[in-house]
Amino acid sequence: MNPFHASPDPSLPESQSGVGDIARVVNSGLPLAAGLRASAEENSSGRERAALLALADQLEAGVALDEALANQRGLPPEFTELIAAGTRSGRLAPILADYLNLQRQRYGVRQRLLVSAMYPVVVFVLVGLVSLIFPIWIAPGLRELYSDFGIELPSISLFVLSMSELIELTWPLLLLGMFGILLLPLLHEVLPGKGGRQRLLGLVPILGSSLRMAGKSEMAFLLGTLMRSRVDILDALGVMSTTLKDYTLRSGCRQLAQQLREGRPPRELFWGPSVVPADIVHVLVQEYDPEIAGEQLRMLGHVYAQQTETRLRFLFMLLEPLAIFGVVLGIGVSTLSVMYPLIRLLNDLS
């Protein structure tokens, strides 16, 4: 086996394999450029292989590691910032080791949540397809029947038949919209205006609190990683103010850093207004040894992550019966409202 490259880490997704290669080479103490070239030869992803070779070329040309990483696309922004912070503090290897552990935990939680979401998603799709049966195949025949016999319909029957006609004309768009809803998590990450959408999602019951808890978990993990490696607190807050996925917490980190630059005593920060979670601020104001504070923050991150997973699992469990109940109720009301005139017609004919 190539001495510069270990076998790929099965606990990380392929999109993180390049990060793992860099971390393993740095932690091994081997020459970085040579190690990256050896890693590229055994990397199964063409994109990752090209990125590792380009990074090795820049390092051999004398470009600093943090600058070379900044020029590479496709690497997570927090990874680049952590590299820069680790280079400045002289503790790059432990930061990378902690970061890889964080990525493994994130990936594990994401996989478990995806498994939990699969059944509600399948139910949502099937219920959506079933709900199209009445307006597309049943309602048109009833409209024609009532028109032929000149039956005067009640208001609710007229409304249901009008909506059914609209659905019959636009059902392809409705299907696209339904699948678009399933793609919203992916679109949210790539479309502009993410901060505004985060604030709107924060107003949604259960989902909003889950997203806020996930942001707290990320902040606690990253801050704990940086403090364990004795990165200056202002430097750590600067890293998080540009890399956290929660834009509100980014603003809170900038606010907290500004208060520290103004020379406010640490204990005053706990009582002042801030969007930074009180539990995290409480750890900071205790003035513990950075190693102890970092470990406490990482434990706090685990607690937040578990709470996030629990709330999202509950949300998935809640959506399934609500979707079924809503569709069954809608189909039942629609069927009764349009079948009642037919029953009355049959009684009159008999």
Residues 114, 53 within the same domain: no
Confidence of residue 94 (pLDDT cuts 50, 70, 90): confident
- What does the block give as tokens for 140? 């048109």
Check: pTM over 0.75? Answer yes or no.
no
Is 1 within a domain?
no
Q: Does residue 97 register a pLDDT over 80?
A: no
What is the mean pLDDT of the segment spanning 197-201?
A: 82
Looking at residue 208, its pLDDT comes to 86
Confidence of residue 120 (pLDDT cuts 50, 70, 90): confident
Q: Give the tens place of pLDDT for each residue, 67-92.
A: 777 676 656 667 677 777 777 777 77
Q: Give the tens place of pLDDT for each residue, 240-261.
A: 888 888 888 898 888 888 888 8
Q: Give the tens place of pLDDT for each residue, 22-52.
A: 666 665 555 667 666 765 665 545 666 677 6
Residues 110, 213 within the same domain: yes
What is the mean pLDDT of the segment spanning 127-141?
A: 79
Residues 339, 278 within the same domain: yes
Share of the chain above pLDDT 90, in %: 1
Is 7 within a domain?
no
Looking at residue 236, its pLDDT comes to 86
Share of the chain above pLDDT 70, in %: 78
Residues 148, 251 within the same domain: yes
Is 190 within a domain?
yes
Is 81 within a domain?
no
Q: Does residue 172 register a pLDDT over 80?
A: yes
Is 169 within a domain?
yes
What is the mean pLDDT of the segment spanning 200-204?
A: 82
Looking at residue 1, its pLDDT comes to 34
Considering 49, 75, 101, which residue would you say is the last residue of a domain? 75
Tally the domains of the chain. 2
Q: Does residue 173 register a pLDDT over 80?
A: yes
Looking at residue 60, its pLDDT comes to 82
Residues 222, 333 within the same domain: yes
Average pLDDT score, the chain: 76
Is 337 within a domain?
yes
Looking at residue 45, its pLDDT comes to 55
Looking at residue 9, its pLDDT comes to 45
Range of the domain at 300: 92-350
Looking at residue 24, its pLDDT comes to 62
Residues 246, 334 within the same domain: yes
Residues 59, 182 within the same domain: no
